[in-house]
Amino acid sequence: MTVSLPHALSVWRRNASMYRRTWMFTILPNFFEPVLYLMSIGIGLGAYVSQMGGGSYAQFLAPGLICVSAMNGASFEVTYNVFVRLTFQKTYDGMLTTPVAPEDILLGEVLWAVTRSLVYGGCFFVVVALFGLVPLPRGLLMLPLIPLAGLLFASIGIAFSLRIPAIDLFSFYFTLFLTPIFLFSDIFFPLAERLPANLLWVAEVLPLLHPVRIARHIFAGQWSPVLLWDLAYIAGFSAVLLSWASVWVRKRLTS
């Protein structure tokens, strides 16, 4: 069955009406997270780093951390929350008694995760801008990048969620996948300066480097052809994962 955007949006609306009741509690922590990061690493550790990439250490961290908040916003949504709706709450079984199809559920959840990434990443962006760490107006180009990063990690996370049998496996996803790429994706130090040249391809294969590199270029006000590769990676990897996920979601929800 082909995907129906109106039905996908009804799935999106379901999540939105739930979060309309709880948004105060979910959004507020988003403001604390970047402040704590910037204070601890940027101001604390940054005091020992006189200069990084032509500016303060806090300035070096800012673009990467905005991408990470987009990644986290999308990831929590498509992992634990999707899995709970899939298995414990049977939310999707309820949707399938209506004209909503499995592919609509997939699209609706991905759109919702992108929305959450925009909320998370947007909050982070605002705080970082208030610290004076965002060059304006060119820094506003981050606003379309945040949902793109969200789309990439929504696609990866939902593909994982549709394949695992038990909720415990998400601890592997977070500790063995998201945390390592968080630490080795050009966010805390320039990869090219510290990693042996013959290992740089590993970071190129992993997803987080690509939005981070685009963000760095936006902050620096630079253009490079490598950004085309980064955009192609984000679009292509998301498309491949979502086309697999559309097969898996049907297998998982129907029999």
Partner 1 sequence: MASVVEVRSVTKRFGERVAVAGIDLDVHAGSCFGLLGPNGAGKTTTLRMVYGVTRPTGGTIRVFGIDIAARPREVRARLGVTLQENVMTDEISPRDNLRVFGRYHLLREPELSRRVEELIDFLELRSHADVPVRNLSGGFKRRLAIAQSLMNRPELLILDEPTTGLDPAVRLSIWSRVRDLREKGSTVLLTTHYMDEAQRLCDRVAIMAEGAIRAEGPPLALIAQHAGEEALELDCSPEEEARLLDGFAERAKRLRAGRRLMLYVGDAAALAEHIRTRDAGDRRPLVVRPSNLEDVFLALTGTQLEGGA
110 binds partner 1 (CB under 8 A): no
251 binds partner 1 (CB under 8 A): no
Q: Which stretch binds partner 1 (CB under 8 A): 18-26, 66-74, 133-141, 190-198?
A: 18-26
Measured in degrees and rounded to the nearest 5, phi and psi for residue 98 equal -110, 180
Q: What's the CA gap between 65 and 188, in Å, rounded?
A: 9
Q: What's the CA gap between 114 and 71, in Å, rounded?
A: 9
Residue 99 DSSP one-character state: T
13 binds partner 1 (CB under 8 A): yes
CB 211 within 8 A of CB 230: yes
Q: What's the CA gap between 151 and 28, in Å, rounded?
A: 23
Q: How far apart are the first and last CA of the chain?
A: 15
CB of 165 to partner 1, least distance (A): 16
Annotate each residue in 75-104 with x if it binds partner 1 (CB under 8 A) or - if it does not, as one string.
--------------xxx-xxxxxxxxx---
Among 17, 50, 171, 198, contact with partner 1 (rule: CB under 8 A): 17
Both tokens of 21, joined, read 């009741």
Q: Which stretch binds partner 1 (CB under 8 A): 6-14, 27-35, 57-65, 225-233?
A: 6-14
- Interaction site with partner 1 (CB under 8 A): 1, 4, 6-7, 10-11, 13-14, 17-18, 21-22, 89-91, 93-101, 253-255
